[in-house]
Amino acid sequence: MIAEALTGRQLVLTGVTGFVGKVYLVMLLEHFPGVGKISLLIRGGSQGALRRFEAIADTSPAFRPLRERYGSRLGEFLGERLQILDADLDRDHCGLSDPQRHSLRSADLFVHCAGITDFDPDPKKALNTNTLGALQVAKLAKAAHAPMLHVSTCYVAGERDGRIEESLRVGHAPNGTLFDPQSTVDNALRAIHKPRRGDRIEVGKSLARALGWSNIYTWSKGLAEHLLASDPELQLTIVRPAIVECAHSFPFPGWNEGINTAGPLAWLISTAFRRLPAQPTHRFDIIPVDEVARGMLITTAAILHGTAPKIVQLASSTLNPLTFERTIELTGLGLRRYVRRGGGTERERRWFKHLDPVPASGGGWFGPIAIRSWIQPIRDGLSTLIEREPPTPVAEKAQSILKQLTRTQGDLDRIEDLLTLFKPFIHDHNWQFVADNIVELSNKLPPEESAIAFTLAHIDWCQYWVDVEYPGLMKWSIPILRGQTVQADLPSVPPLQITAAARVASK
């Protein structure tokens, strides 16, 4: 079904430099090399789109399956299938020249995966990229008379609870307010026109909450959905993933990039903070990134066959629910196993593996504030003591304790910021995202395409969390939270070069 749909077809893909986009592209090329052509719209920056993509394909761990399969022939393999275009979603027609736009007129499908995923970014950037950028891609799709697969998020559902259907009522905000999408975006752009980034963010947050969205990210993605869906000339399918986490098996178990939702929660457990504020029975809707890629591929094929539904949610909360209570316990168990196998810090090996985290709901929500209430007087007391120039041993000891308490205070501030950011998702709401459409589509796959089947309903969460997710977070995400660098793979010698075939129609 998928092979048949993709053979000889031209796809246009944005967001290939992101976490989900990379895995989608690599899975597509790995399993369906008979695809006709994939045009990648990439923001090139100073090095240009082609050089940027070559570096990614050469060193990103996500590309390991292709590097292992094709070795020194990878450049040739990619050159035969890819067209790489320097694009800017913030500009009209994505900043493409006329010849470049013309080369896309024969495209069969536009897959729009690009976006800013920070929870509360500068709303100016969020609207430009997540909302207006999607409209620019839609313009290209309409010019080609091609359908568009728009990757959104389940959390456009906003601040609601309960069962969330695979539907969209254009002009109805999550809190029930009726609104006009276009004028809402126009007014928002005016309202956030402020010189200071902090002020723009505060305005953006209040605009989001006014319509029932938790943060700027979900607001900007929600507005994009409403705008796209209200265009009668656009053949649109929306894919909404839930919280995207470490790969279950592809490109390899544990692969992750950047900081997702579980990363900060796992990092909290690696501090002395053991009581995690979360509603124990609420569902933590996570989906491994390779399941997202499979869902997108299956939907891609359905669109090309003309059988795709309007909205496809890729989520676990109704198929294979995982509660916060269970997640918190599994994170503690993951730490134990990780330490037993030789990982972890000295502090984790000596103490934290014995102190399992527990959920704290209701009154226990803001433990950091309670702790801060006695740290500050001690810091003040120590500062006063130091000012009085006591004997050297006393002064040195006081300095040492003050330094540790200052570090603890810094940790607590970061913890409070993180908890505030995640509170809607781990405490305030209990979403149950319906995912019937992808199950129905996946059940139609022939046996020879079972490697791409959507298997989220059958994932063993204990094995996944303890053996895949936790070690994956420790390797790929937690170092970033600790201010360290995550090593990419070493480039090949000589470095990967995509052959000349891919350079057609570049600027």
Partner 1 sequence: MSTDPTHTAAFFRAEGTLLPRPTSVSVAWLAANAQGIGERIVRLGTLGLSLPLWPADRRTARKLSWSALRGMSQDRLTVLGEEYFHLRLKDSLRPVGLDLLAQAKKQRRRTVLVSDSLDVIIAPLAAHLKVDDWIANRMELRNNRATGRLIDPIIGSFSGTELRSYADEHGLQLRQSSGYGASAEDAVLLSAVGLPCAVAPDRALRAMAHNHQWPVVNA
Residues in the site for partner 1, rule: CB under 8 A? Answer: 326, 329-330, 332-333, 336-337, 340, 355-356, 358, 461-462, 466
Extended beta strands in 152-227, E state: 162-164
Residue closer to partner 1 (CB basis): 270 or 299: 270
CA–CA dist 104, 110 (Å, integer): 9
Q: Is 272 exposed, middle or buried (0-12, 13-18, 19+ CB in 10 A)?
A: middle
CB of 91 to partner 1, least distance (A): 50
CB of 164 to partner 1, least distance (A): 24
Q: Do β-strands 37-42 and 148-151 pair in parallel, antiparallel, or remain unpaired?
A: unpaired
Residue closer to partner 1 (CB basis): 69 or 350: 350
Residue closer to partner 1 (CB basis): 355 or 488: 355
Residue closer to partner 1 (CB basis): 222 or 357: 357
CA–CA dist 327, 245 (Å, integer): 13
CB of 415 to partner 1, least distance (A): 20
CA–CA dist 412, 282 (Å, integer): 25
- Whether residue 349 contacts residue 319, with contact meaning beta carbons closer than 8 Å, is answered with no
CB of 330 to partner 1, least distance (A): 6
Residue closer to partner 1 (CB basis): 154 or 330: 330
CA–CA dist 331, 349 (Å, integer): 15
Residue type at 107? A
CB of 282 to partner 1, least distance (A): 16
The partner residues of 276 in beta bridges, in order of sequence, read: 359
Say whether 353 sits in a helix, a strand or coil. helix
The partner residues of 240 in beta bridges, in order of sequence, read: 313
Residue closer to partner 1 (CB basis): 432 or 506: 432
CB of 375 to partner 1, least distance (A): 23
Q: Could you tell me which residues come within 8 angstroms of residue 469 by beta carbon, excluding any fewer than 6 positions away? A: 245, 246, 254, 262, 334
- Whether residue 114 contacts residue 18, with contact meaning beta carbons closer than 8 Å, is answered with yes
Residue closer to partner 1 (CB basis): 202 or 356: 356
Q: Could you tell me which residues come within 8 angstroms of residue 267 by beta carbon, excluding any fewer than 6 positions away? A: 478, 481, 482
CB of 266 to partner 1, least distance (A): 16
Residue closer to partner 1 (CB basis): 117 or 361: 361
Backbone angles phi, psi at 437, to 5 degrees: -65, -45
Token look-up 């959920």 returns 359
Residue closer to partner 1 (CB basis): 295 or 332: 332
Of 65, 76, 72, the closest CA to residue 22 belongs to: 65
CA–CA dist 39, 29 (Å, integer): 13
CB of 412 to partner 1, least distance (A): 22
CB of 340 to partner 1, least distance (A): 6
Residue closer to partner 1 (CB basis): 24 or 461: 461
Residue closer to partner 1 (CB basis): 339 or 385: 339
Residue 239 backbone zone (phi > 0: left; psi -120 to 50: alpha; other: beta): beta
Q: Is 485 exposed, middle or buried (0-12, 13-18, 19+ CB in 10 A)?
A: exposed
Report whether the peptide linkage leading into residue 251 is cis, meaning its omega lies within 30 degrees of zero. yes
Residue closer to partner 1 (CB basis): 340 or 407: 340
Token pair belonging to 211: 């319509």
Strands of 311-314's sheet in order across: 82-86, 37-42, 10-14, 109-112, 148-151, 236-241, 311-314
CB of 465 to partner 1, least distance (A): 8
Residue closer to partner 1 (CB basis): 363 or 494: 363
Residue 389 backbone zone (phi > 0: left; psi -120 to 50: alpha; other: beta): left
Q: Is 47 exposed, middle or buried (0-12, 13-18, 19+ CB in 10 A)?
A: exposed
Tally Cβ neighbours within 10 Å of residue 450: 10
CA–CA dist 113, 149 (Å, integer): 8
